[in-house]
Chain A
Amino acid sequence: MSVDQTQRSIRCLVAKVGLDGHDRGAHVIARAFRDAGFEVIYSGLHKAPDEIVQAAVQEDVDVIGISILSGAHNTLIPKVIDGLKEYDAFDDTLVLVGGVIPDEDKEDLKQMGVAEVFGPGTKMEETIEFVRENVPER
């Protein structure tokens, strides 16, 4: 098959973990990603880290964007990242976090393997640009 028939599309999982019920941001992001031409799978609310990992692995997403406004990011994000590693999916998946994350936690998250943190008010174009530029080569 010739290369020009390849039909690649950036696939993203927009995920809500834990008891956090704030889903406006996740919806906004999901729609913006769709409009940017990405394929978006939205996890729905109240997912356990395992479920997010399962979805990311099976859907073979390029990007996993976790939306957390509950303050539980320091316990939940490591679980997701460990899960991705367990299934050999961490290395070529871009992990983003959005929502309400105090500045002092951002560096720790990045140490863990989060590529970038997007807080309230981040311009959508900026986020999309970041994804386009950092989506892993496969």
Chain B
Amino acid sequence: MTVDDETLVDELLGGKQRALARTITTIENREPGYRDLVSALYEHTGNAEVIGITGSPGAGKSTLVDKLTNTYRDRGETVGVIAVDPSSPYTGGAVLGDRIRMASNVGDMEVFFRSMSARGNLGGISTATADAVKALDAFGKDKIIVETVGAGQNEIDIVRTADTVAVLVPPDSGDEVQTLKAGILEIGDVFVVNKSDLPGADRTVQELKEMIQLRGDTGVSGGHHGPDHHALGDADAAGGTDAGTASAVSEAAAADGEAGNWTPSIVETVATDGTGIDELIDTFAAHREYMEASGRLDEKARTRTAEEIRLLLREDASGLLERELDRHGGIEALVEAVHAGETDPYAIADEVVDPIEECLSDRQDDPA
């Protein structure tokens, strides 16, 4: 690591805003040395609770994030937010509009808000998000919220960095609830019927309930034992302002957590005026308790680490292969050779990989 990067890490750990901001930029730009930076921060991570918020465009995600953040701050916790906008990757330009909704928290430096775009690299954005979360975690944020618009696989990968995922479903999006089935439904730990001040909220809650039941029954994910029952019970009452309901769920989840699965809760909110935010936060806490008590949190972290190692190796390996390709005259020349009938892609692949394979087979020793 360069001296500059070492300073950056020290300053970040020392609480300097600018250093955290610059670290995230380095991660985002994949500047040389970014991996060393993340590597140096790694041992300082693992303390934050990470919450993912997704849902259709305009569902009220940012407004909700603002209110959640404000409530966490009132409870004395520090918050980091990463708002990812993957929507305009083609020109490279983007207007990142999520920050504008953070009205309740402006000027509060204990809230660190960062906007990120996909920059045409759809695959990389989820990795960059995960690494930016690590930076916020190392900085010492208690809660980290990741917001992204819910559409495709890419967004699903983004919110996967979270321990708890909330999916926003605006009222009367009947068709939408149907389309939710594809992918998004599977990742939701909590479904938030935001804009419940608008007509159609009850119906949406009902539809979601049916969908969740269906998911439980068909065993796609989750079961119908333990906390399932209670979580659905919570859904019935979520529209009320009775904050006791959610904590009842949390006890149930903690008590039954070891055995059962988590059935997604449904919470109704009005992000614009803060209705339902306390319940939502209690539900997040209940899910967290369940994750901890059931060992799922640990399991998820391990899966993530395994994926991370594999991903880094793939990046490295493909870098090595690119270099080998260049040594063999570059991809264009090789394509030319194939089309001139001199060789074929399979033969080329063998040729490129053979020397690497040879090196590896010579190495019988333990890597330690």
| A residues apposed to B, CB below 8 Å | 1-3, 5-9, 11, 30-31, 33-44, 47-48, 50-51, 54-55, 57-60, 87-89
Number of interface residues of B (CB under 8 A): 42
Q: Which residues of B come within 8 Å of A, CB atoms?
A: 16-18, 20-22, 24-25, 28-35, 88, 91-97, 99-100, 103, 106-107, 109, 112-115, 117, 119-121, 124, 315, 319, 322
Most B Cβ at <10 Å: residue of A3, A42, A58: A58
User: Contact check: which of A1, A42, A88 meets B95 at CB < 8 Å?
Assistant: A42
Which of B20, B29, B35 is within 8 Å of A7, CB to CB?
A: B29
Contact B30 A59 (CB under 8 A): no
CA distance A18 to B93 in the complex (A): 27
CB-CB nearest 5 A-B residue pairs: A60-B21, A34-B93, A37-B92, A44-B100, A51-B106
Knowing A35-B93, A39-B117, say if A7 contacts B30 (CB, 8 Å). yes
Contacting residues, chain B, for A2 (C-beta < 8 A) = 319, 322
A101 to chain B, nearest CB (A): 24
Give chain B residues whose Cβ lies under 8 Å from the Cβ of A41.
95-96, 99, 115
Chain B contacts for A43, CB-based, 8 A: 99-100
Q: Say whether A48 contacts B95, CB under 8 Å.
A: no
A9 touches B100 (CB 8 A): no
A55 to B109, CA, bound (A): 10
B34 CB, min distance to chain A CBs, angstroms: 7
Is B119 a contact partner of A7 (Cβ separation < 8 A)? yes
Asked if A33 meets B113 with Cβ closer than 8 Å, knowing A1-B35, A54-B106, the reply is no
* Set of chain B residues within 8 Å of A30, measured between Cβ atoms: 95
Q: A58-B17, A59-B115, A60-B25 are in contact. Are A6 and B32 (CB under 8 A)?
A: yes
Q: For residue B3, give the distance in angstroms from its CB to the closest CB of chain A.
A: 16
Contacts of A47 in B (CB 8 A): 106
Most chain A CB within 10 A, of B32, B33, B96, is at: B96
The 15 listed contacts between A and B (C-beta, < 8 Å) are A1-B34, A3-B32, A7-B28, A7-B124, A34-B94, A34-B95, A35-B91, A35-B93, A42-B97, A42-B100, A43-B100, A44-B103, A57-B18, A59-B115, A60-B24
Supplied contacts A7-B121, A7-B124, 20 more A-B pairs, CB within 8 Å:
A1-B32, A5-B30, A9-B29, A33-B93, A34-B93, A38-B93, A39-B94, A39-B117, A41-B95, A41-B115, A42-B95, A43-B99, A43-B100, A44-B100, A44-B103, A47-B106, A50-B107, A60-B21, A60-B24, A60-B25
How many Å lie between the Cα of A59 and that of B17 in the bound state?
10
Determine the residue in chain A with the shortest Cβ distance to B108. A54
Q: With A and B bound together, what is the CA distance between A34 and B90 in angstroms?
A: 11
Given known contacts A58-B21, A58-B112, A6 and B94 CB-to-CB distance under 8 angstroms:
no
Q: Would you give the shortest CB distance from A93 to chain B, in whole angstroms?
A: 10
The reply to whether B92 and A54 form a contact with Cβ atoms under 8 Å apart is no
Residues of A within 8 A of B25 (CB): 11, 60
What is the chain B residue whose CB lies nearest that of A38? B93
Q: In the complex, which residues of chain A have a beta carbon less than 8 angstroms from the beta carbon of B16?
A: 88
A11 to B24, CA, bound (A): 13
* B121 to A, closest residue via Cβ: A7
Residues from chain A with Cβ under 8 Å of B100 in the complex: 42-44
- Is A87 a contact partner of B30 (Cβ separation < 8 A)? no
- Note all chain B residues with C-beta closer than 8 A to A87: 17-18
Bound-state Cα–Cα, A84 to B54, Å: 33
A59 to B18: give the CA distance in the assembly, Å.
Answer: 9
Q: A54 contacts which of B30, B35, B88, B109 (Cβ < 8 Å)?
A: B109
Find out whether the CB atom of B99 lies under 8 angstroms from the CB atom of A8: no
CB-defined contacts of B21 to chain A, threshold 8 Å: 57-60
Residue contact B29 to A6, C-beta cutoff 8 Å: yes
Find out whether the CB atom of A60 lies under 8 angstroms from the CB atom of B99: no
Instruction: Give CA–CA (A3, B319) in the complex, Å.
Output: 11
Least distance between A54 CB and chain B CB atoms (Å): 6
Which residues of A have CB within 8 Å of B121?
Answer: 7
Residues of A within 8 A of B93 (CB): 33-40
Docked-complex contact B92 and A51, CB < 8 angstroms: no
Given A35-B91, A44-B100: A1 in contact with B107 (beta carbons within 8 A): no
- Measured between alpha carbons, how far is A101 from B2 in the docked complex, in Å? 44
Determine the chain B residues whose CB is within 8 A of the CB of A88 once the complex forms.
Answer: 16, 18
From residue B1, how far is it (CB to closest CB) to chain A in Å? 13
User: When the two chains form the complex, which single residue of B24, B94, B103, B109 contacts A40, counting CB atoms closer than 8 Å?
Assistant: B94
C-alpha spacing A37/B120, complex, angstroms: 11
The interface residues of chain A lying within 8 Å CB-to-CB of B29 are 6-9
Residues of chain B within 8 A (CB-CB) of A55 are: 99, 113
Quick one: which of B17, B103, B319 has the most chain A CB within 10 A? B17
